[in-house]
Copies of this chain bind each other. A is one copy, B any other.
């Protein structure tokens, strides 16, 4: 591929390259007519400013790195699409890496992105319990970073969060007001704040309605369907069947629901279900699963906006936190009387 350069345009019009440059970056003094002439013949010749040269002189890569734990499930892709929309519009390129839920590969990804001189990073941590020194060093250097979804409270940085506590409380409250009193919470990974927050919401909903909770009401579960299945099988084996299950996210709820159904339990009559972070499956399975829907697209949009704000105003930078709201999508899995 042979590209047309600024010199070619200059030669053609018998102008200096600086004039051509001025025509494309309208902040300098240039006569209106010549500018129009330049732009016209430039497009005729098929000239596009070489992004590499531009980046070199401007000492900016116009690249933004996004690091997520995975992007097989729908959640992160949706966030990424949201971020890309506004980043692309502003002329930024987006480099996406996935850490595969591994701290090591996450740090490695971040380092390569920084070495490749991205202008900023949007990150959802694979684990919040690990060492965050590297991130802190970057932040202290003034490197623009926005965290979302999975963050570390110690890091003094901009964050886009979801009000996990509030919506877990709402979701639990929904179950309680539906008449379910003996509710078990399937907890998420302990290393994540969002798990703790959802648990806290679950607990406070019970406090509000003055319902006692024992340790039997909490079962540690993962993020997978399999873990939900295993939990349900154990419950059935021990014959400890609660009225309802509130899961820290959809997959374990779905897994547990599948097992209970297979064992002849009626849903939601015998046992009700509420999930979290609305997955594609929620509305599709039978019965459809009540779940808290997060504003995935908006999370991406807000993260991108915040990052650009930080990049463009490097001096007046103050770490901000935006907390977004969601929706409780109430479906058959948790509604006692239809």
Contact = CB atoms under 8 A, between A and B. Distances in A.
A95 B95 contact: yes
Interface stretch (A181-189, A211-219, A238-246, A254-262): A254-262
A194 interface: no
A199 B68 CA distance: 38
Interface string A101-125: 0000000000010011100000000
Interface string A83-98: 0100010000111111
A93 B231 CA distance: 42
B98 A96 contact: no
Contacts of A280: 72-73
Nearest to A112: B88
A77 B285 CA distance: 23
A337 interface: no
A3 B116 CA distance: 11
A338 interface: no
A207 interface: no
A143 interface: yes
The 10 closest A-B pairs by CB, nearest first: A52-B55, A52-B56, A48-B115, A71-B77, A51-B116, A72-B74, A56-B56, A72-B77, A53-B56, A93-B95
